[in-house]
Amino acid sequence: MPNYAEIHARSRKDPEGFWAEIAQGIDWTRKWDRVLDDSRPVQRWFAGGEMNTCWNAIDRHVAAGHGGRVAVIYDSPVTNTIRSFTYTEMRTRVAAFAGALKAKGVARGDRVIVYMPMIPEALIAMLACARLGAVHSVVFGGFAANELAVRIDDCTPKVIVSASCGIEGAKTLPYKPLLDGAIAIARHKPAACLIFQRPQLACDLVPGRDQDWMEAENAAKPADCVPVLATDPLYILYTSGTTGQPKGVVRDNGGHAVALKYSMSAIYDTAPGEVFWAASDVGWVVGHSYICYGPLLQGCTTLLFEGKPVGTPDAGVYWRIIQQHGVKTLFTAPTAFRAIRKEDPEGALIGKYDLSKFKYLFLAGERCDPPTLEWAMAKLNRPTVDHWWQTETGWAICANPLGLERFPIKPGSPTKPTPGWDIQVLGADGHPLKAGEIGALAGKLPLPPGTFPTLWNAEKRYFDSYLAEYPGYYKTGDAGYIDEDGYVYVMTRVDDVINVAGHRLSTGQMEEVLAGHKDVAECAVIGVADELKGQVPLGFVVLKAGVNRPDAEIVTEIVALVRDKIGPVAAFKQAVIVKRLPKTRSGKILRGTMQKIADSQAFKQPATIDDPAILGEILDSLKPLGYAKAASSQGTL
């Protein structure tokens, strides 16, 4: 058996040979002309090849005689429901719903927005789109109508599929008013909406536009899988960039299927028939890759969990699910473990369950703080793997590849580059740095299959954001270092993206919302450390001259404004009114210094600061909120 070093070296020296072998694991209706076509500036994997992702995820297993195997387990403590779907049952539902979409005019290449809670129909909708060669764009339920409208206008869906409500812990959240509101705001109007009526809260349908999901599904003629080009888009997933306009990350069909199936064995060491649980949401990339596509491409049983790590009903729910469904591999965000540890610091609830089938815990979505990793390892006594990836990359950039070789775990590091990735740490001049030196983390081109070939409707933005700064490299937007043993450490973002409870958010976008308030002259939003969520946003606002209302009133309004424009997921709950913002002499707001002050870290007063006294004002404004407890200046930079 070749070891990791040999496999990784081959993946970089001979990427075409390496991935062509792995691509044998997927059914193709036409073989590719070229494994990697980088003749145009954007790389295209398996160019000329044809296949269908839904076939590979569902039908292929039925055809191979595994139709009776459970494909999806839906466990919803918030509705007291547990249901399983075999591969045959999934094929029946997906083919029927694809027929319903087809009846609404959806064909290969058309976009469909999926705005759904964590119910099996969310997976059915995604797979039905894939079956038709249509392009789905799942929008996370925690976004406001305005955010949904931005996505509707960008990807111009023919149909939107949604449900009457979502259930968040003890709250039932009506989805339909958000959907109707978004369609009212958007310039583009979908031809039709298919709405799944949940018994917890039904909704009204708009005559002529909306149809009841089950009525449409039951009346539909089942649709077959439509072969598409490997390079055709499978989905668009919007993620936060530096402006209010989110980036539409595009995923292709062929490279995605090849890479995800490979990752199930190489990284997760999880075989067909085993139970894989990604406790995330279908609205995020983790949900796309490892609730939906990865486990199904591998012929595993995937678990769809509608609940929270705590409070539904308690911090033992993960262990109850692992026992009840025989989960082998759990994948979640460190924030979930921080939430569990807070409620059950000794891990007493863990001991109440039989976890004999549980082999591995994987964590990602945000930097994994070593105490959280160490707590999980100590309490679970199982390999706990921090792995690093992004919406853009679709699967892990760095991981401890348990199916290839097991490396000793170093808390704070997501271990080593996965096959296909050559990660370098680059200095300001774009040259690779030495071991231990901190710089920009960049991936040498070509990127492996499964990564994003472009941004939807924004090819120039793709180049400008990711490829322009370091020619020949993909700029990840993260900074860190590589140690003497080749372990990669991801320390921080280099842009204004923050990570709140594993959710990626843009402070720039929040600033745009704050700036839209009638009384706000200037503002800044930073991410400050939070024990549970890792980071939370904090706003600083300078009011227009002459505004004479109580600060608390204005803060309440801007908090409500962010919730209304971006959504509850932004978790924007605090802001302070200040007289001025600290800036350099050229007018750049010193967000990094403000963040250090808020987090009570030692900071250096930038030599270019316009007026050092402002830092003292910022410090004073933060103390009432419990921040900046011990911040101290360490001289001038």
Cβ-Cβ contacts under 8 Å for 7 (sequence gap 6 or more): 404, 419
For 594-633, give one letter per residue: b (16+ CB within 10 A) or e.
bbbbbbbeebebbeebbeeebbeebbebbeeeebbeebeb
Binding letters toward ligand COA, positions 483-512, x by CB under 6 A: -----------------xxxx---------
- Out of ligand AMP, ligand COA, none, what residue 309 binds, judged by CB under 5 to 8 A for its kind, is ligand COA
Residue 335 touching ligand COA (CB under 6 A): yes
For 236-272, give one letter per residue: b (16+ CB within 10 A) or e.
bbbbbbeebebbbbbbbbbbbbbbbbbbbbbbbbbeb
Distance of closest approach, residue 462 Cβ to ligand COA, in angstroms: 23
Q: Considering Cα of 337, then 338, then 341, then 342, what sign does the dihedral take?
A: negative
Q: Tell me the window of 281-289, 420-428, 553-561, 597-605 that interacts with ligand COA (CB under 6 A).
A: 281-289
Are 57 and 298 contacting, i.e. CB atoms less than 8 angstroms apart? Answer: no
Cβ proximity to ligand COA, 502 vs 606, nearer residue: 502
Distance of closest approach, residue 481 Cβ to ligand AMP, in angstroms: 13
Distance (Å, whole) CA 591 – CA 583: 9
Residue 141 touching ligand COA (CB under 6 A): yes
- Out of ligand AMP, ligand COA, none, what residue 300 binds, judged by CB under 5 to 8 A for its kind, is none
- Out of ligand COA, ligand AMP, none, what residue 339 binds, judged by CB under 5 to 8 A for its kind, is ligand COA
Binding letters toward ligand COA, positions 536-575, x by CB under 6 A: --------------------------------xx-x----
DSSP 501-541: TTEEEEHHHHHHHHHTSTTEEEEEEEEEEETTTEEEEEEEE
Give the residue from 54, 92, 32 showing the smallest Cα distance to 226.
Answer: 54
For 559-576, give one letter per residue: b (16+ CB within 10 A) or e.
bebbbebbbbbbbbebbb
Q: Which amino acid is at 388?
A: W
Q: Tell me the window of 306-314, 395-403, 552-560, 596-604 that interacts with ligand COA (CB under 6 A).
A: 306-314
Cβ proximity to ligand COA, 365 vs 527, nearer residue: 365
Distance of closest approach, residue 339 Cβ to ligand COA, in angstroms: 4
Cβ proximity to ligand COA, 85 vs 362, nearer residue: 362
* Residue found by looking up tokens 């348990």 in the block: 402
Residue 166 touching ligand COA (CB under 6 A): yes
Give the residue from 196, 227, 262, 188 showing the smallest Cα distance to 24.
Answer: 262
Interface pick for ligand COA out of 86, 265, 270, 280 (rule CB under 6 A): 280
Distance of closest approach, residue 139 Cβ to ligand COA, in angstroms: 10
Distance (Å, whole) CA 122 – CA 147: 19
Distance (Å, whole) CA 158 – CA 107: 9
Distance of closest approach, residue 58 Cβ to ligand AMP, in angstroms: 26
Distance of closest approach, residue 274 Cβ to ligand AMP, in angstroms: 23
* Residue found by looking up tokens 């089950």 in the block: 214
Cβ proximity to ligand COA, 57 vs 500, nearer residue: 500
Return the DSSP state at 243.
Answer: S
Binding letters toward ligand COA, positions 235-274, x by CB under 6 A: ----------------------------------------
Residues within the interface to ligand COA (CB under 6 A):
140-142, 166, 168, 173, 279-281, 284, 286, 308-310, 332-333, 335-336, 339, 365, 500-503, 533, 568-569, 571
